[in-house]
Every structure is written in C-alpha cells, then in structure tokens.
Structure 1
Amino acid sequence: MQNIEKFHVRFDDFDSTPYYQASPDNRIRISCDNYNNKNWKHLKNLIYTLFHEDSETNLTLEVGTIRNNKRIPIKTGIGKFFHITNWKEDIVYHSELDMSFIIATIKNVDADDIYKYGRRVASGHKDSYIVFYNQTFLMYISTDVIDIISKEKEDIQKVTPFTKELFKKS
C-alpha cells in the first residue's frame, strides 16, 4: 500500500476516494457514460498509454473485513480478469468502526487484463474498490467514473488529449 501513497492518496481513507484526496492539478475524471457501450478503442488506448509494457503495474483492492476476530471475505471476481500469483495482504484497523479491512496487492498485472476489467465495469457490471498504478499514474475505475491521478501535473496533462478526443465523439 505504501506505493499508492506516492500519489498523496491513502487507499485506507474510507471517507473519500483517491480522486478527492489528490490535488486538482494532478487528477482527471472521465464519466463512464462517455463509453455507453461504444468508444472501447478509446478506453483501450487510454489504459495502454497509462500502463505500457515497460512499466510495472500493480493493483490494490479491498478483499475483506475482520470484525470480532471473524474474517469476512468480499467476493470481488477479479480472478476472472487477472492472473493472481503474488498476492500480498495488509490489515488496516479502522478505530471508528471497530473493525479491520483486508487490503490485497497484486503485482505485475497486464494492461490487457486491466482493459477487460475496465470495459466490464464501465458497462455497468459490479465493481470492486480497486486501483491500478505504476510509477507515474494511478487509476480508479467504478461503474460511474474513471479517475486518473499522477504524481506530477505535467504527467496528467499528457492524458488531457484523451479526454478531449472522447468528448468530440460524444
């Protein structure tokens, strides 16, 4: 999880998504309504631009909770999209809720698998609280939005042409 903190966001901040934790200069939000079962090539190009082959891309997601010493898994369905070989778990205690959250990180995920997951979620299928990230970008996908965060505002400016292109097509 410490790799996510370089984006100045905390995955275990359950009060706000990473988008609202990042500086406005270092983030961009795309509505999934822009895809509406079209523009899939745009989504694929965006993901491949963010997570190209020569970057190590990881994913982090919430996989369960622990309450009263009982582990309660969350069915994420990510095994349908990602080859899971190196799963590392962190337990994060939330004092206000008096429970712990189980956060898993999977290293070296493939951009094509991120695209398959993103396309399914952008189509309105069930999502998980999940982020994808490399050295430069962090991306959060839900059924409503795709949020992209960078460490440097110059990097987020490289993504801006993708949003302009998408809005021309809408």
Structure 2
Amino acid sequence: MITDTLSATQLKQLLTEVFSNDATIHTIFLSEYMIRNKRKSANPKVGKHIHITNWREVIIWDEEDDVAFIHAHVRNISQESLINYCTKSTLEAYIIFYSEDYLLYVNSDVVDLISEDPMQIEKLRLLHKKTTSK
C-alpha cells in the first residue's frame, strides 16, 4: 500500500519513527457486518500481514437500520507486522493503529497521524519534508 507521495521505503521510515520497537501497538479494524442477524465478512484479510492472537470483537449496533458493525481489536502487534501491513497490503480495510503517543490511519490515498503533542507531528513533518525533497 503506497500513497501517491510516499514510497514504501519512506512509509517504512515514517512508521519506524512513529512506532518504535519498544512501543506497544494496537489495531482496530472492521472485520464484519451483521445485517438482520446474519454476519457478512468485510474481508479485510488483515491476518495475512499481522499475526493475530490477542483480539476481541466490539459490536456497534445501528438499531434504526438493523445493522451492526463488528470491529476486531487486536492488542500488542509487532512493529514488523504494522510495517508489513502498511507497505504490502493492497486491500482497503477500515483500520487504525495506535500506541500511547499516536493514532494512525493509512490507506492507498492518505496517511493520517494524530498525536496529543503537536511538536511531535511537526518534527515528523519536517523530517518527511527533508526526505521527499532530496
């Protein structure tokens, strides 16, 4: 999965900077829908790139439309799994990754990064600006 302006190498560098090896990384993604009590896979194929062992389902009901969204919450994924998913996956899963310091949403069009510390974001922006202008 590569954005228009980031190469796989640049994306890997950004992810390594944001989620260090000692960071505790978690993910939440849409795994299924439930329509009239029948489950339908969202087909995210996240398990192809992320080793999933410690997960739980969170079901969010929309009673008005009689539909539910089933999110998988996976705890303690490795930095390597995160990088593999973000640089090699071709599917458009509704997925976020987060640690104590950052929340990341990534797809083929955009990398959204949120932090409570605006200086951290500015530091990353300046670092990225240097690497893309070379």
Aligned amino acid, residue 151 of structure 1: E
TM-score, normalised with respect to structure 1: 0.72
| Superposition CA RMSD, Å | 1.7
Is the contact made by 1:58 and 1:106 (CA closer than 8 Å) also made in structure 2? yes
For structure 2, the residue ranges without an aligned partner over 5 or more in a row are none
Match for residue 32 of structure 1? Answer: 3
Q: Counterparts of 1:98 and 1:50 in 2: how far apart (Å)?
A: 39
| Cα distance change of structure 1 residues 96 and 154 upon mapping to structure 2, 3 Å threshold | farther
Q: Counterparts of 2:70 and 2:119 in 1: how far apart (Å)?
A: 34
For structure 1, the residue ranges without an aligned partner over 5 or more in a row are 1-30
Query: Any runs of at least 4 consecutive aligned residues in structure 1 with deviations exceeding 6 A, and if so which?
Result: none
Is the contact made by 2:57 and 2:70 (CA closer than 8 Å) also made in structure 1? yes
Correspondence list, 1:25-104, <5 A:
32-35=3-6, 39-104=7-72
TM-superposed CA distance for 1:96, in Å, is 4.8
Q: Counterparts of 2:125 and 2:30 in 1: how far apart (Å)?
A: 29
How many equivalent pairs are there?
133
SS state at 2:112 partner: strand
Which structure: greater strand fraction? 2
Q: Do structure 1's residue 147 and structure 2's residue 112 form an aligned pair?
A: yes
SS state at 2:127 partner: helix
Is the contact made by 1:131 and 1:140 (CA closer than 8 Å) also made in structure 2? yes
Amino-acid identity (%): 30
